[in-house]
Amino acid sequence: MTNKFGFVSLSGRTNVGKSTLLNSFFQKKITITSRKPQTTRNRILGILSEENSQIVFLDTPGVHLGYKRQLNKVMNKLASQCYEEVDLVLFLIDRTKWQQEEDKILESLRNLNKPVVLVINKIDRLKEKSKLYAFIDEISKKFNFLAIIPISALRKDNLLELKKIIQNNLKIGPSHFPENEITEFSDAFYISEIIREKAINRLGDELPYRINVVIEKINEHKKLKTIYAAIITESKSQKGIILGKQGSMIKAIGTASRKELEKEFSKKVNLQLWVKANKNWTNDVNKLKKFGFGVDH
């Protein structure tokens, strides 16, 4: 049987459901999700191996317009570098919302000369389905999309159809990764992302983009995994918010993280979590590199 292989980028504005789509394809959590924008920071690699194909998904950080900090510049650069490596681009949008960011992304896709599938996500939230057809008709004039497909990543509507389109447009070639491998990232990275997700979903609107999670040590025993982790923030006042009244916030973040990690690793987890203030880390190139956000890695 002929085997197909290809790199596929999940691209689009922040918070359009790229991470949810990736997780739905794999039917497990590959990447963290949040209702808040700017959740994805790294190129999350998901490897979907099936009988006659291997699709390698790159979940790019969403494009950030109007943000001036070094962290946002690094993430924008990552997103554009990601485009260049792929065989096919899935360009996700949120229902019929077409904004300035979409125009900017489309502009960069024009110069790529790569096939682009427009994926209209969150159709389960559309009150008037008739508006969708008019929108598709209008949007198809903007760009020569390989296909336009409406989906609900959350409810897994139309995902088989989308997967078929991807597979039909991959090149014939051998798989690049072992069949049982589904991501390139280490346990430490996965753990840090779970903790970051639980923090993001419990904190105010501005603070989540000022935090990072560093795994300092992992001790493995047969029935117990002990994890030492630090939530890095930018100031003492932010540190106070993350700790919460009498340590209530950090305790809630720790408990939620531990429960999910125990489920993932099928063993008891002892999570030792604390907070460190690291002044202005999101706007300091050297600190960003230290935390793994260097643009050249």
State percent of the chain over pLDDT 90: 33
Average pLDDT of every residue of the chain:
80
Question: 236-243 vs 248-265: helix axis angle to the nearest 10?
Answer: 70
Q: Are residues 149 and 38 in the same domain?
A: yes
Say whether both 164 and 97 belong to one domain. yes
**pLDDT attached to residue 201:** 84
pLDDT band at 22 (very low <50, low <70, confident <90, very high): confident
Judge if 215 and 98 occupy the same domain. Answer: no
What pLDDT score was predicted for residue 94? 93
| 64: in domain | yes
The whole-number average pLDDT for the span 202-208 is 63
Percent over 70 (pLDDT), the chain: 75
pLDDT of residue 136: 94
213 and 105 belong to one structural domain: no
pLDDT band at 78 (very low <50, low <70, confident <90, very high): low
In a domain, 179, yes or no: no
Given pLDDT bands bounded at 50, 70 and 90, which one contains residue 72?
low
Least confident of 71-80, 82-91, 193-202, 255-264: 71-80
Residue with token string 């209702």: 35
User: In terms of residue numbers, what domain contains 266?
Assistant: 187-290
Examine the fold and report which residue of 118, 141, 172 is the final residue of a domain before the chain moves on. 172
Q: Is 195 exposed, middle or buried (0-12, 13-18, 19+ CB in 10 A)?
A: buried
Report if residue 58 sits inside a domain: yes
46 and 139 part of one domain: yes
Q: What is the largest CA-CA distance in the chain?
A: 62
- Rounded Cα distance between 91 and 238, Å, is 35
The CATH number of whichever domain residue 243 belongs to comes to 3.30.300.20
Instruction: Identify whether residues 194 and 284 lie together within a single domain.
Output: yes
Q: Are residues 230 and 115 in the same domain?
A: no
CA separation for the pair 98, 106 (Å, rounded): 11
In terms of pLDDT, which residue wins out, 245 or 111?
245
Quick check: is 296 in a domain? no
| Of 21-30, 155-164, 267-276, the least confident | 21-30
pLDDT surpassing 60 at residue 130: yes
Residue-wise pLDDT tens digits, 173-191: 888 777 877 776 667 878 8
Number of domains into which the chain is organized: 2
With contact defined as beta carbons under 8 Å apart, do 268 and 220 qualify? no
pLDDT for position 66 = 47
Q: What pLDDT was estimated at residue 62?
A: 46
Residues 154 and 198 in one domain: no
* 130 in a structural domain: yes
The answer to whether residue 16 scores a pLDDT higher than 50 is yes
Return the closest-CA partner of residue 208 out of 234, 244, 247: 234
234 vs 55: CA distance, rounded Å: 38
Instruction: Let me know whether 72 and 46 are in one domain.
Output: yes
CATH code where residue 148 lies: 3.40.50.300
Q: Report residue 209's pLDDT band, with 50, 70 and 90 as the boundaries.
A: low
Q: Is residue 17 part of a domain?
A: yes
Residues 228-268: tens digit of each pLDDT: 998 888 778 888 888 889 999 999 999 999 998 999 888 99
Residues 24 and 145 grouped into a single domain = yes
> For position 83, what pLDDT does the model report?
57
Query: Under a CB-based contact definition with an 8 Å cutoff, are residues 44 and 183 in contact?
Result: yes
pLDDT at res. 75: 52
Within this chain, do residues 168 and 194 fall inside the same structural domain, yes or no? no
